[in-house]
Amino acid sequence: MMRTAPIVLIVVTVLFTSIPLGCQQGRYLTLEHDSSGSVAGEVSVDALAADLDLELVESTRVHATMVDGSNRIFLIADPDGQAFVNHRPVGPRGGIAPQGETLFLSKEIVSAIRSALRRDRLAAAPVAPQRSHSLAGRTVVIDAGHGGRDPGATSVLGTAEKHINLAVALELGRLLRERGVGVVFTRDDDVFVELDDRVAIGNRAAPDLFVSIHADSCLNPSARGFTIYTSRSPSAATSRAATDLEKALSNSPLTSRSVRQAGFRVVVKTRCPAVLVELGFLSNREEAALLVDSAFQNMLARLLCRGIVDFLSAPTALTEAPDNPLKTDRVSR
Q: Is the pLDDT of residue 14 over 60?
A: no
Percentage with pLDDT > 70 across the chain: 77
Judged by phi (left if over 0) then psi (alpha if -120 to 50, else beta), residue 192 lies in beta
Residues near 78 by Cβ (< 8 Å), separated by ≥ 6? 62, 293, 294, 295
Write down the pLDDT at residue 78. Answer: 63
Mean pLDDT of 302-307: 96
Write down the pLDDT at residue 220. Answer: 96
pLDDT in tens, 71-119: 889 898 866 788 988 878 888 888 898 888 899 999 999 999 999 998 6
Answer positive or negative: Cα dihedral of 168, 208, 200, 230: negative
Q: Where are the alpha helices (DSSP H) in 179-235?
A: 195-205
Cα gap 324→234, rounded to integer Å: 7
Cα gap 41→110, rounded to integer Å: 10
Q: Is the pLDDT of residue 4 over 60?
A: no
- Per mean pLDDT, which range of 54-58, 217-221, 228-232, 258-262 is the poorest? 54-58
Of 207, 257, 205, 267, nearest to 232 by C-alpha is 267
Chain center to CA of 266 = 24
User: If pLDDT is split at 50, 70 and 90, which confidence band does 282 have?
Assistant: very high
Write down the pLDDT at residue 322. Answer: 54
Write down the pLDDT at residue 77. Answer: 82
Of 50, 57, 146, 48, nearest to 103 by C-alpha is 48
Provide φ and ψ at 12, rounded to 5°: -100, 120
Provide φ and ψ at 326, rounded to 5°: -125, 145
- For residue 244, give Cα distances in angstroms to 60, 271, 278, 316: 24, 20, 15, 14
Q: Is the pLDDT of residue 277 over 90?
A: yes
Q: With contact defined as beta carbons under 8 Å apart, do 215 and 161 qualify?
A: yes
Q: How many CB atoms lie within 10 A of CB 94?
A: 13
pTM to 2 decimal places: 0.73
- For residue 155, give Cα distances in angstroms to 98, 110, 252, 286, 297: 28, 30, 20, 11, 15
The DSSP call for residue 13 is: P
Write down the pLDDT at residue 325. Answer: 46
Q: Residue 122, class by beta-carbon neighbours within 10 Å (0-12 exposed, 13-18 middle, 19+ buried)?
A: exposed
pLDDT in tens, 17-40: 333 333 333 333 344 445 544 445
Q: How many CB atoms lie within 10 A of CB 6?
A: 6
- For residue 159, give Cα distances in angstroms to 171, 248, 284, 285, 294: 19, 26, 13, 12, 13
Provide φ and ψ at 6, rounded to 5°: -65, 145
